[in-house]
Amino acid sequence: MTTTADIKQICRQAPMIPVLVIGEIEDAVPMARALIEGGLRVFEITLRSDCALGAIERIAKACPEALVGAGTLKAAHDVDDCINAGAVFGASPGSPAPLVEKVLDAGFPFLPGCVTPTEAMALFDCGFEVLKFFPAEASGGVKMLESMISPLPDVAFCPTGGISLENAKHYLKLPNVITVGGSWVAPSGLIAQKDWNAIRKTANRTCEELLCVQS
Ligand code: 3PG
Protein backbone atom coordinates (compact mmCIF):
# COMPACT_ATOMS: atom_id res chain seq x y z
CA MET A 1 0.00 0.00 0.00
CA THR A 2 1.30 3.46 -0.95
CA THR A 3 0.69 4.97 2.48
CA THR A 4 2.92 2.43 4.15
CA ALA A 5 5.70 2.39 1.55
CA ASP A 6 5.97 6.17 1.57
CA ILE A 7 6.04 6.59 5.32
CA LYS A 8 8.74 3.92 5.64
CA GLN A 9 10.86 5.71 3.09
CA ILE A 10 10.39 9.03 4.89
CA CYS A 11 11.24 7.55 8.30
CA ARG A 12 14.37 5.89 6.92
CA GLN A 13 15.70 9.32 6.03
CA ALA A 14 15.35 10.53 9.61
CA PRO A 15 17.74 9.63 12.44
CA MET A 16 15.01 11.34 14.47
CA ILE A 17 11.96 13.48 13.71
CA PRO A 18 11.81 16.80 15.56
CA VAL A 19 8.29 17.42 16.90
CA LEU A 20 7.73 21.17 16.74
CA VAL A 21 5.31 23.76 18.08
CA ILE A 22 5.59 27.07 16.21
CA GLY A 23 4.09 30.08 17.96
CA GLU A 24 5.06 32.78 15.42
CA ILE A 25 4.79 32.16 11.70
CA GLU A 26 7.96 34.21 11.03
CA ASP A 27 9.92 31.54 12.92
CA ALA A 28 8.92 28.72 10.56
CA VAL A 29 11.50 29.09 7.79
CA PRO A 30 14.54 30.07 9.93
CA MET A 31 13.79 27.14 12.23
CA ALA A 32 13.47 24.75 9.29
CA ARG A 33 16.76 26.01 7.84
CA ALA A 34 18.53 25.50 11.19
CA LEU A 35 17.29 21.90 11.35
CA ILE A 36 18.24 21.19 7.73
CA GLU A 37 21.70 22.72 8.19
CA GLY A 38 22.08 20.54 11.27
CA GLY A 39 21.26 17.45 9.17
CA LEU A 40 17.58 16.89 10.03
CA ARG A 41 15.35 17.40 7.02
CA VAL A 42 12.34 15.37 8.15
CA PHE A 43 10.28 17.12 10.79
CA GLU A 44 6.76 17.42 12.14
CA ILE A 45 4.95 20.73 12.70
CA THR A 46 2.21 20.02 15.21
CA LEU A 47 -1.27 21.46 14.75
CA ARG A 48 -1.04 22.88 18.25
CA SER A 49 -0.80 26.54 17.31
CA ASP A 50 -2.90 28.83 15.14
CA CYS A 51 -0.12 29.35 12.62
CA ALA A 52 0.81 25.65 12.18
CA LEU A 53 -0.74 25.23 8.71
CA GLY A 54 0.74 28.53 7.55
CA ALA A 55 4.13 27.41 8.90
CA ILE A 56 3.92 24.15 6.92
CA GLU A 57 3.01 26.09 3.78
CA ARG A 58 5.93 28.50 4.16
CA ILE A 59 8.45 25.72 4.81
CA ALA A 60 7.16 23.59 1.93
CA LYS A 61 7.65 26.55 -0.43
CA ALA A 62 10.95 27.89 0.93
CA CYS A 63 12.74 24.61 1.73
CA PRO A 64 12.21 22.06 -1.06
CA GLU A 65 14.84 19.78 0.49
CA ALA A 66 12.71 19.39 3.64
CA LEU A 67 10.20 16.59 4.18
CA VAL A 68 7.76 18.59 6.27
CA GLY A 69 5.03 16.70 8.04
CA ALA A 70 2.05 17.69 10.14
CA GLY A 71 1.56 16.37 13.66
CA THR A 72 -1.23 16.12 16.21
CA LEU A 73 -3.89 15.41 13.57
CA LYS A 74 -7.10 14.67 15.43
CA ALA A 75 -9.98 14.95 12.96
CA ALA A 76 -10.65 13.86 9.38
CA HIS A 77 -10.71 17.46 8.10
CA ASP A 78 -7.13 17.95 9.36
CA VAL A 79 -5.97 15.60 6.58
CA ASP A 80 -7.13 17.84 3.72
CA ASP A 81 -5.87 20.94 5.52
CA CYS A 82 -2.38 19.41 5.90
CA ILE A 83 -2.21 18.11 2.33
CA ASN A 84 -3.31 21.52 1.01
CA ALA A 85 -0.63 23.22 3.10
CA GLY A 86 2.04 21.00 1.55
CA ALA A 87 2.67 18.42 4.29
CA VAL A 88 4.18 15.22 2.87
CA PHE A 89 3.21 13.08 5.85
CA GLY A 90 1.10 13.24 8.98
CA ALA A 91 1.19 11.89 12.50
CA SER A 92 -1.31 11.60 15.31
CA PRO A 93 -1.11 10.77 19.01
CA GLY A 94 -3.98 8.33 18.41
CA SER A 95 -5.94 6.57 15.71
CA PRO A 96 -9.65 7.45 15.81
CA ALA A 97 -11.60 5.63 13.07
CA PRO A 98 -12.73 8.72 11.06
CA LEU A 99 -9.13 9.99 10.90
CA VAL A 100 -7.74 6.61 9.87
CA GLU A 101 -10.43 6.18 7.18
CA LYS A 102 -9.72 9.63 5.76
CA VAL A 103 -5.95 9.03 5.67
CA LEU A 104 -6.42 5.73 3.82
CA ASP A 105 -8.86 7.36 1.43
CA ALA A 106 -6.43 10.16 0.66
CA GLY A 107 -3.39 7.83 0.43
CA PHE A 108 -1.59 10.21 2.80
CA PRO A 109 1.66 8.84 4.33
CA PHE A 110 0.78 8.62 8.00
CA LEU A 111 1.97 7.55 11.45
CA PRO A 112 -1.14 6.63 13.45
CA GLY A 113 -0.67 6.65 17.22
CA CYS A 114 -0.91 3.52 19.31
CA VAL A 115 0.25 2.06 22.61
CA THR A 116 -1.09 -1.48 22.94
CA PRO A 117 -0.64 -4.70 20.91
CA THR A 118 -4.39 -4.68 20.14
CA GLU A 119 -4.15 -1.17 18.65
CA ALA A 120 -1.02 -2.10 16.72
CA MET A 121 -2.69 -5.23 15.30
CA ALA A 122 -5.82 -3.31 14.26
CA LEU A 123 -3.74 -0.63 12.50
CA PHE A 124 -1.55 -3.24 10.80
CA ASP A 125 -4.72 -4.92 9.51
CA CYS A 126 -5.75 -1.56 7.97
CA GLY A 127 -2.43 -1.41 6.10
CA PHE A 128 -0.22 0.64 8.44
CA GLU A 129 3.18 -0.97 8.98
CA VAL A 130 4.79 1.98 10.79
CA LEU A 131 3.10 3.30 13.91
CA LYS A 132 3.76 6.15 16.28
CA PHE A 133 4.22 4.67 19.77
CA PHE A 134 2.96 7.50 21.99
CA PRO A 135 3.48 8.42 24.79
CA ALA A 136 6.53 6.17 24.65
CA GLU A 137 8.22 6.62 28.03
CA ALA A 138 4.94 6.73 29.96
CA SER A 139 3.72 3.55 28.23
CA GLY A 140 6.48 1.10 28.97
CA GLY A 141 9.21 2.54 26.76
CA VAL A 142 11.96 0.29 25.41
CA LYS A 143 10.71 -2.77 27.35
CA MET A 144 7.22 -2.49 25.91
CA LEU A 145 8.50 -2.22 22.32
CA GLU A 146 10.97 -5.04 22.88
CA SER A 147 8.06 -7.23 23.98
CA MET A 148 6.30 -6.62 20.66
CA ILE A 149 9.19 -7.80 18.46
CA SER A 150 8.40 -11.49 18.66
CA PRO A 151 4.58 -11.46 18.37
CA LEU A 152 4.39 -8.56 15.87
CA PRO A 153 7.57 -8.89 13.78
CA ASP A 154 6.19 -6.94 10.79
CA VAL A 155 5.23 -3.81 12.71
CA ALA A 156 7.70 -0.91 12.94
CA PHE A 157 7.44 1.93 15.42
CA CYS A 158 8.40 5.57 15.75
CA PRO A 159 8.34 6.13 19.52
CA THR A 160 7.74 9.69 20.75
CA GLY A 161 6.92 11.26 24.09
CA GLY A 162 9.70 11.51 26.65
CA ILE A 163 12.50 10.70 24.19
CA SER A 164 15.91 12.34 24.73
CA LEU A 165 19.23 12.09 22.92
CA GLU A 166 20.33 9.53 25.52
CA ASN A 167 17.34 7.19 25.62
CA ALA A 168 16.87 7.52 21.81
CA LYS A 169 19.94 5.30 21.39
CA HIS A 170 18.28 2.47 23.34
CA TYR A 171 15.13 2.71 21.23
CA LEU A 172 17.03 2.85 17.93
CA LYS A 173 18.89 -0.36 18.74
CA LEU A 174 15.59 -2.28 18.67
CA PRO A 175 14.91 -3.93 15.29
CA ASN A 176 11.28 -2.74 15.33
CA VAL A 177 12.15 0.95 15.79
CA ILE A 178 12.62 2.73 12.47
CA THR A 179 13.18 6.21 13.91
CA VAL A 180 12.20 8.24 16.98
CA GLY A 181 10.51 11.60 17.44
CA GLY A 182 10.83 14.31 20.04
CA SER A 183 10.94 17.97 20.91
CA TRP A 184 14.43 18.03 22.41
CA VAL A 185 16.21 19.37 19.32
CA ALA A 186 13.97 22.41 18.96
CA PRO A 187 11.92 22.95 22.12
CA SER A 188 9.38 25.79 22.05
CA GLY A 189 11.59 27.91 24.31
CA LEU A 190 14.51 27.90 21.85
CA ILE A 191 12.17 28.63 18.95
CA ALA A 192 10.60 31.56 20.85
CA GLN A 193 14.11 32.90 21.59
CA LYS A 194 14.95 32.50 17.89
CA ASP A 195 18.12 30.68 18.90
CA TRP A 196 18.72 29.11 15.47
CA ASN A 197 22.36 28.53 16.28
CA ALA A 198 21.53 26.37 19.31
CA ILE A 199 18.96 24.43 17.28
CA ARG A 200 21.47 23.88 14.44
CA LYS A 201 24.13 22.65 16.89
CA THR A 202 21.75 20.29 18.71
CA ALA A 203 20.48 18.92 15.39
CA ASN A 204 24.03 18.34 14.25
CA ARG A 205 25.07 16.56 17.46
CA THR A 206 21.87 14.51 17.39
CA CYS A 207 22.60 13.38 13.82
CA GLU A 208 26.16 12.45 14.61
CA GLU A 209 25.21 10.41 17.68
CA LEU A 210 22.11 8.70 16.30
CA LEU A 211 23.08 7.86 12.74
CA CYS A 212 25.53 5.23 13.93
CA VAL A 213 22.95 3.39 16.08
CA GLN A 214 19.94 3.49 13.75
CA SER A 215 19.19 -0.05 12.50
C1 3PG B 1 4.70 14.25 20.45
O2 3PG B 1 3.66 14.70 20.04
O3 3PG B 1 5.28 13.33 19.87
C4 3PG B 1 5.25 14.73 21.72
O5 3PG B 1 4.62 15.91 22.14
C6 3PG B 1 6.72 14.90 21.77
O7 3PG B 1 7.01 14.61 23.07
P8 3PG B 1 8.26 15.22 23.84
O9 3PG B 1 7.99 16.71 23.99
O10 3PG B 1 8.26 14.50 25.15
O11 3PG B 1 9.47 14.96 23.02
Q: How far is the CA of 82 from the centre of ligand 1 (A)?
A: 19
162 lines ligand 1 (CB under 6 A): yes
Report the chain's mean pLDDT, rounded to a whole number.
Answer: 96
43 lines ligand 1 (CB under 6 A): no
Q: What is the pLDDT of residues 159-190, one digit of tens each?
A: 999 999 999 999 999 999 999 999 999 999 99
Q: What is the rounded average pLDDT of the residues 82-91?
A: 97
Catalytic residue chosen out of the listed positions 8, 44, 119, 129? 44
**pLDDT for residue 1 is more than 50:** no
Q: What is the rounded average pLDDT of the residues 14-42?
A: 97
Ranges 57-66, 77-86, 103-112, 206-215: which has the least confidence: 206-215
Q: Are 52 and 106 in contact (CB under 8 A)?
A: no
Instruction: Determine the atom of ligand 1 nearest the C-alpha atom of 46.
Output: 2
**pLDDT for residue 81 is more than 60:** yes
Catalytic residue chosen out of the listed positions 74, 102, 119, 132? 132
44 is catalytic: yes
pLDDT band at residue 212 under the 50/70/90 scheme: confident
Instruction: Determine the atom of ligand 1 nearest the C-alpha atom of 181.
Output: 3
94 lines ligand 1 (CB under 6 A): no
- How far is residue 50 from each of residues 25, 73, 74, measured CA to CA in Å? 9, 14, 15
Sheet of strand 67-71, all strands in order from the earlier edge strand to the far edge: 110-111, 89-91, 67-71, 42-46, 17-20, 181-182
Q: How far is the CA of 189 from the centre of ligand 1 (A)?
A: 14
pTM of the model: 0.95
H-type alpha helices, the chain: 2-12, 28-37, 52-62, 76-85, 97-106, 117-126, 141-149, 165-172, 188-192, 196-211
Q: Are 6 and 109 in contact (CB under 8 A)?
A: yes
Mutate to test the pocket of ligand 1, among 164, 183, 184 (most ligand atoms within 8 A of CB): 183
The per-residue pLDDT for 14 is 95
Q: What is the distance between the alpha carbons of residues 81 and 74, in angstroms, rounded to a whole number?
A: 12
Task: Determine phi and psi for 83, rounding to 5 degrees.
Answer: -65, -45
Q: What is the pLDDT of residues 138-165, one digit of tens each?
A: 999 999 999 999 999 999 999 999 999 9
